Chain A
Amino acid sequence: MLLVPCPYCGPRPEVEFRCGGEAHIARPADPDALDDAAWAEYLFARTSPKGVHAERWLHAHGCGRWFNALRNTVSDAFITTYEMGEPRPDITGGR
């Protein structure tokens, strides 16, 4: 079983978590000013990289907290976790 390192609880089994998709996608400040293509870009376009990916995770069946994590989508290894609202750590490679 994959262990997810919750920044509050430590390493915990994957079944306790929900993945919330890509992190750092800011909602446009004024959606009315966007055309359909720009709105669709915000809603649906994701980077989906092969390698390090910034994701939101929820420890749903644990402490109930959201946090951000950098995960390598090739090896499934978690590189680091950080709090919601913090900028993405400057890590582009690793495991």
Chain B
Amino acid sequence: MPEPVAIHARRAPILAPSASSAVRVLPAADRFVLQMKAPRGAVLPSAAGGFDLSGPLNSVRGRPERFAARLGPGEWLLVCPEGEGTATEPAIASDLAGRFFSLVAVGHRNAAFLLSGPHAADILNAGIALDLSDTAFPPGSATRTLLGKTEVVLVRVGEAFRLECWRSFAPYVHAFLQDAAREFA
């Protein structure tokens, strides 16, 4: 087993984590993009590295701080608390040994927000064209979509909405959400 590459060099977060409010900046996390295709007739593995990969497309499995979101037929976003990635990466790789897959550490690429409270969906709908009601997007849903001009990943682990966007987009997304939240303050 090769030594894990130094993926865990720490970098200052783009936005300081904030205390509870309607739009919260979440602390740094370790993230991976896992891509894997099943040959015709074969089945995809249901778990790897402690992540449950068995969910259908556009669903999420796990806990709010450690989850696997299935964003495409063969694509998952894996998120775990900062520091756990060091042990998680080789664990995923060994669980998938013998398969063709790609596992990319993207912990530094993303910033995350948590939207909670009765108006979380209303705030998001200022920039997201999806139906975010409990019937159309219940807890356990996840998807990639657009918020305003930026591509985001929206994950619903529990009642609240977790929003992941690219690091350099984070100031725009944060300002966008705070602006939308003023209407419901």
Task: Point out residues on A near B: beta carbons under 8 Å.
Answer: 1, 8-9, 12-13, 15-16, 61-65
Q: Which of A9, A61, A65 contacts B151 (CB 8 A)?
A: A61
Q: B144 touching A61 by the CB < 8 A rule?
A: yes
Nearest 9 A/B pairs, CB to CB: A13-B129, A63-B72, A64-B72, A61-B146, A61-B151, A15-B146, A62-B144, A8-B57, A9-B58
Kindly provide the distance from the CB of A84 to the nearest chain B CB, expressed in whole angstroms. 12
A-B contact pairs, 27 of them (CB 8 A): A1-B129, A8-B57, A8-B72, A8-B73, A9-B58, A12-B130, A12-B145, A13-B129, A13-B130, A13-B145, A13-B146, A16-B129, A16-B145, A16-B146, A61-B145, A61-B146, A61-B151, A62-B145, A63-B57, A63-B58, A63-B72, A63-B73, A63-B75, A63-B144, A64-B71, A64-B75, A64-B144
Q: B151 touching A63 by the CB < 8 A rule?
A: no
Give bound CA distance, A15 to B148, whole Å: 10
Q: A9 touching B129 by the CB < 8 A rule?
A: no
Q: B130 touching A9 by the CB < 8 A rule?
A: no
Kindly provide the distance from the CB of A90 to the nearest chain B CB, expressed in whole angstroms. 25
Question: B57 to chain A: which residues have CB within 8 Å?
Answer: 8-9, 63
Question: B129 to chain A: which residues have CB within 8 Å?
Answer: 1, 13, 15-16
Give bound CA distance, A9 to B72, whole Å: 9
Give bound CA distance, A63 to B56, whole Å: 12
**Known pairs A12-B145, A63-B75. 6 more at Cβ < 8 A?**
A1-B129, A8-B57, A8-B73, A13-B145, A61-B145, A64-B144
Kindly provide the distance from the CB of A82 to the nearest chain B CB, expressed in whole angstroms. 15
Kindly provide the distance from the CB of A63 to the nearest chain B CB, expressed in whole angstroms. 4
Kindly provide the distance from the CB of A86 to the nearest chain B CB, expressed in whole angstroms. 14
Give bound CA distance, A8 to B130, whole Å: 16
Question: B151 to chain A: which residues have CB within 8 Å?
Answer: 61
Asked if B143 is at the interface (CB within 8 A of a chain A CB), the reply is yes
- Which residues of chain B from 151 to 165 have a CB within 8 Å of any chain A CB? 151
Which residue of the partner chain A has the closest CB to B152?
A61
Which residue of the partner chain A has the closest CB to B151?
A61
Give bound CA distance, A65 to B57, whole Å: 12
Kindly provide the distance from the CB of A50 to the nearest chain B CB, expressed in whole angstroms. 29
